[in-house]
Structure 1
Amino acid sequence: MFNQWLQLQLPLSLVLLALLCARPWLLQRLGALTLYRLWALVPAVLLVAMLPDLNWLQAPAMQSYQVLAKQLSNTVREVQLMPYLWALGVLAFVVLLLVQQWQLRQVLQQGSAYPAQSGVKALQHEARVGPMLTGLIDPVIILPAGFASRFSPLQQQQMIRHELVHWQRRDPWFNLLGYSLLALSWFNPLCWLALYAFRQDQELSCDAQVLAAADTPQRIAYAEAFLKNAADSNTFQPGAGWLCSTTYYGAKNQMKQRLTELKQHKPVRQSAVMAAVLLVSTLAFGWQQQLYAAVDKAEPAAPIHRVEPKYPVQAAQQGISGYVQAKFDINPDGSVSNIVITKSVPEATFDKVSLTALAQWRYQASATGVKGATVQLDYMLDEAP
């Protein structure tokens, strides 16, 4: 899996770099609602990049290996540490998220009941954390201490509406997807920057959606509530950074940008989003298929794990040499299957040992594998030049 995911890092990095560089311009020209939807380019490009090879080109050229009578058995192995390091990083990331999730459970257990909001359960916490939405299936709105006394009824309404919009859009699920991609690509710095920008754009677009039809008093109340909540919030703010199943209302580091965006409203341009997704997906598909074609035309890679056939004792004693030609498929995980002996000289002398050895060969993992790979095993009494 590591090798397949590593191959996806180039298209993933290109689309992330494009979004990060164009983000200020897109926000100014198209607005937060459209910008947030443009992050759909990331899963679209990944899905296209994982499509199989549709070129159906000729099988790679035949490779040839010598099998000597004096060499009974020799195993060639290539130890790869990177997959284990990658898996260790993914595990550490998951453990960190679980710890953060445990901290969130403590917050939920300490909360006191608050009237449900539009069918969504609400809690009030003793500390000034929130408002925030948590939960993938059973959503909960966590409200800060003194919520009713610190904020006016209009401010309360707007702040709760913000969290309800997150739930209506299923933002916690999109956050889970983003953190899952980051867990798999923890070694890619662009993914860290992109997730931070994605969470910012999520809040900006939620602000824009809440205030889409708001009048001036509602906009003022919303801005005042945001400033007051950001100033009063505690340092520990679950959902402001790590937790994938939360959305957070008043992160201080977004204050200036969010206040600027509150002054304007740009409707979502769905046609621009669809055109961008279609264009980028088409370019990614064309690039991916050309890459497959280049790989198919290239010299086939040597096996990373090769078991040498055992030279038959009787053939060695009688001074018999020869060769075997075999055809097989290389699976995406690098294993070998569907082995067929296409030609053997002398007939049937070296077939059994060849099939036994080839079944244990391993190649580099790939996205699609190889159909119809061929190999020739030359059985020789002495090594040829």
Structure 2
Amino acid sequence: MINWLWQANIWLSILSVLLLSLHPLLLKWYGARTLYSLWLLLPVALLLPLVPALPAQSPANLQPEFWLVLPNDLGFVPQPNAVTFVMLLLWATGTLLVFGYALLSQLRLQRQLNAGRHYRSGTLVCYRTDSALGPAIFGLLTPQLILPDNFLQRFDRQQRKLILQHERAHWQSADPQCNLLALILVALFWFNPLSWLAYRRYRADQELACDARVLQQQDNTTLVCYARTLLAAMQSAPPTVNLNLITQHYGALATMTERLTQLKQRRPLLKYLALSCALALLCAASLLQTTVAVTESQTTAAQTKTEITPIVRINPRYPVKAAEEGINGWVQLSFNIDAQGKVENLRVLDANPRAVFNDEALQAVAKWRYHPDHAGSNLTIQLAFELDTDSH
């Protein structure tokens, strides 16, 4: 878990730095809608550590290590890594705090809205509130629209139409659902400042993209009216208003200047750019994993000249039936050592007699632990089960 979290955090940081640093150029070249779609690359960071490496030849330790198993070998139980446990505990605490804050904010908002007037129109639930909330839309399965009580007085007919088109565009683009996914990323990587900076920029780009969708085929008269609508919404929304992490606010002051500047920029959506970038990332991750695997294999080739011994070794139990019948034997096993020093790809190469000691050998060796420095090593060991000796 800690290994996946660390690798995913590295990929998330790289992608965040690229999108944040190249943001002005990407916005100029590709427009708000295409730039917004590129933020979908960040969830790919969760998958990149899981991408398998391309097949590569890994040197094996061809000289098997011999271990003797006696009927009275009891073995020992490995002790958990205290540092890893504390790190996971701190990470889980921070993640739960972020989720808890988001949940409490949502419940507080819902309680405030339920106290006011609301009505349903088909699948849409519309809330009318006398507070500074709205216009805004939220919800995961069904849309829930927030409108201020003075909505009819604050905006003229054309402005009201544009506002509703804006909120409908948010819902049709699955922005509330994407905001939940973004919240999950922030909660998982709360310790990384880049995740918060990326989240803030993502939310701003979400509004830019929504503006672009609404004005995609509108004339200049509508564009001017839309700009006035943004200004009217901004002037009526105090800067202290803050909904929650997954609800967008139509008149957010922080991004208003940028939104007004971008209204005249109309560029087509490059639908497959984000998908192409995601596939390129997956290929790059696979190639990187392959490069790392080859490097580790070369290191392993030198390491195999010296003995690689486990730091935790569990001795197999001697099968009761074999002991009663006086059966001796051996089992030859092959396995790899992963990045955490654990045994993986464990399999039986040969055994004598067959199927007598295999299960006990597999169960025991699966619990062995090696130093992480030996990660990538491929080992072959032979466990000897003997009754007539008392020495190792």
The bucket for the TM-score relative to the shorter chain is 0.7 to 0.9
User: Residue 152 of structure 1 aligns with which residue?
Assistant: 156
Whole-angstrom distance in 1 between the partners of 2:194 and 2:227: 32
Does residue 22 of structure 2 align to residue 15 of structure 1? no
CA offsets, 1:180-217, max 9 Å, x none? 12222222222111111111101101011111122233
Q: Is the 8 A contact 1:128 1:144 kept in 2?
A: yes
Q: Does the residue aligned with 2:248 lie in a helix, a strand or coil?
A: strand
Q: Is the 8 A contact 1:120 1:141 kept in 2?
A: yes
Alpha-carbon deviation of 1:355?
A: 5.6
User: Residue 170 of structure 2 aligns with which residue?
Assistant: 166
The verdict on how the C-alpha distance between 1:378 and 1:235 changes in structure 2, with shifts beyond 3 A counting, is farther
The verdict on how the C-alpha distance between 1:208 and 1:57 changes in structure 2, with shifts beyond 3 A counting, is same
Whole-angstrom distance in 1 between the partners of 2:272 and 2:364: 57
Range 258-267 or range 21-30, more displaced: 258-267
User: Residue 50 of structure 2 aligns with which residue?
Assistant: 50
Whole-angstrom distance in 1 between the partners of 2:358 and 2:190: 47
The verdict on how the C-alpha distance between 1:228 and 1:11 changes in structure 2, with shifts beyond 3 A counting, is same
CA offsets, 1:246-276, max 9 Å, x none? 2221111111111111233222233554554
TM-score of the superposition, structure 2-length normalised?
0.77
Q: Is the 8 A contact 2:186 2:196 kept in 1?
A: yes
User: Residue 314 of structure 2 aligns with which residue?
Assistant: 307
Q: Does the residue aligned with 1:130 lie in a helix, a strand or coil?
A: coil
- Structure 1: stretches of 5+ with no match in the other structure: 313-321
Alpha-carbon deviation of 1:174?
A: 1.2
1:139 maps to which of 138, 143, 146: 143
CA offsets, 1:35-68, max 9 Å, x none? 1112233234543542233416447537859889
Whole-angstrom distance in 2 between the partners of 1:259 and 1:153: 21
Whole-angstrom distance in 1 between the partners of 2:249 and 2:171: 12
Whole-angstrom distance in 1 between the partners of 2:197 and 2:215: 28
Q: Is the 8 A contact 1:115 1:121 kept in 2?
A: yes
Residue type of the partner of 1:138? Answer: T
Aligned positions of 1:231-310 closer than 5 A: 231-239=235-243, 242-244=244-246, 246-270=247-271, 272-295=273-296, 297-299=298-300, 305-307=312-314
Q: Does the residue aligned with 1:224 lie in a helix, a strand or coil?
A: helix
Whole-angstrom distance in 2 between the partners of 1:293 and 1:309: 33
Whole-angstrom distance in 2 between the partners of 1:60 and 1:77: 29
User: Residue 220 of structure 2 aligns with which residue?
Assistant: 216
Alpha-carbon deviation of 1:74?
A: 4.7
Q: Does the residue aligned with 1:121 lie in a helix, a strand or coil?
A: strand
The verdict on how the C-alpha distance between 1:363 and 1:88 changes in structure 2, with shifts beyond 3 A counting, is farther
| C-alpha RMSD of the superposition | 4.1
2:96 maps to which of 91, 95, 100: 91
Does residue 333 of structure 2 align to residue 326 of structure 1? yes
User: Residue 380 of structure 2 aligns with which residue?
Assistant: 374
Does residue 192 of structure 2 align to residue 185 of structure 1? no
Q: Is the 8 A contact 1:120 1:140 kept in 2?
A: yes
Q: Does the residue aligned with 1:31 lie in a helix, a strand or coil?
A: helix
The verdict on how the C-alpha distance between 1:193 and 1:361 changes in structure 2, with shifts beyond 3 A counting, is same
Q: How many residues align?
A: 367
Whole-angstrom distance in 2 between the partners of 1:211 and 1:12: 32
Whole-angstrom distance in 2 between the partners of 1:270 and 1:201: 16
User: Residue 77 of structure 1 aligns with which residue?
Assistant: 79
Whole-angstrom distance in 1 between the partners of 2:39 and 2:126: 30
The verdict on how the C-alpha distance between 1:233 and 1:95 changes in structure 2, with shifts beyond 3 A counting, is same
CA offsets, 1:122-181, max 9 Å, x none? 211120111111101011111123111111111111111111001111111111111112
Q: Is the 8 A contact 2:52 2:289 kept in 1?
A: no
Q: Does the residue aligned with 2:269 lie in a helix, a strand or coil?
A: coil
Whole-angstrom distance in 2 between the partners of 1:8 and 1:296: 23
Residue type of the partner of 2:53? Answer: D
1:198 maps to which of 196, 202, 217: 202
Q: Is the 8 A contact 1:128 1:145 kept in 2?
A: no
Residue type of the partner of 2:206? Answer: Q
- Structure 2: stretches of 5+ with no match in the other structure: 320-328
Whole-angstrom distance in 2 between the partners of 1:83 and 1:373: 30
Q: Is the 8 A contact 1:339 1:359 kept in 2?
A: no
Q: Is the 8 A contact 1:132 1:163 kept in 2?
A: yes
Q: Is the 8 A contact 2:351 2:358 kept in 1?
A: no
Range 101-110 or range 204-213, more displaced: 101-110
Alpha-carbon deviation of 1:10?
A: 2.2
Q: Is the 8 A contact 2:54 2:287 kept in 1?
A: no
User: Residue 108 of structure 1 aligns with which residue?
Assistant: 113
Q: Is the 8 A contact 2:212 2:263 kept in 1?
A: yes
Alpha-carbon deviation of 1:106?
A: 1.3
Q: Is the 8 A contact 2:53 2:287 kept in 1?
A: no
Q: Is the 8 A contact 2:166 2:210 kept in 1?
A: yes
TM-score of the superposition, structure 1-length normalised?
0.78
Range 326-335 or range 25-34, more displaced: 326-335
Q: Is the 8 A contact 2:51 2:282 kept in 1?
A: no
The verdict on how the C-alpha distance between 1:295 and 1:125 changes in structure 2, with shifts beyond 3 A counting, is farther
Whole-angstrom distance in 2 between the partners of 1:123 and 1:88: 34
Q: Does the residue aligned with 2:255 lie in a helix, a strand or coil?
A: helix
